[in-house]
Amino acid sequence: MTRIAEIRLDDAGQAPTPEIEQERRVAVFDLLEDNRFSLPGREAGPYHLGLAIREKRLVFDVANTTGERAAEFHLSLGPFRQVVKDYFQICESYYDAVKTLPPSQIETIDMARRGIHNEGARVLQERLEGKAEVDTDTARRLFTLICVLHFGA
């Protein structure tokens, strides 16, 4: 069982906007429905994953289903800063566009948003190398949750 069975976010910071909260709900739902997550050389899952930002670091707290810690690793937020900033800016443009622009322009902005999202997923996969293995869809959903955490940090 190489998967995440439960996820919890330590997002006690600033209250999210309705759009951010919706992104969070969708990402958590999709992540729990379908994901690939494993810890190389360690016991198999399923896993319970806690995500937090502490002392300007992204913390992955991984436990097995009985609550025993399977791993904990801290990642520098530096490599994520620009892509998170770009993602928030393009999302804001997208939310504004949905209200006023024709579908063709919305589609163009959405394509740019997906491209930035893919870049965030790629950065995450690189940062997790040797610590955890995730497929692209899982990395995309985890990147969304990292953005949610950034919003509250």
Domain ranges of the chain: 4-152
Q: What is the pLDDT of residue 84?
A: 93
* 55: number of Cβ within 10 Å: 7
CA 117 to CA 146: how far, in whole Å? Answer: 11
pTM of the model: 0.90
AA identity, residue 88: F
Question: What DSSP element (H or E) covers 98?
Answer: helix 78-100
Q: What is the pLDDT of residue 145?
A: 93
Stretches in the chain below the pLDDT threshold 50: none
Q: What is the pLDDT of residue 18?
A: 83
Q: What is the pLDDT of residue 12?
A: 65
Rg of the chain in Å (alpha carbons): 16
Cβ neighbors of 35 (< 8 A, separation 6 or more) are 3, 4, 134, 135, 137, 138, 141
CA 65 to CA 147: how far, in whole Å? Answer: 26
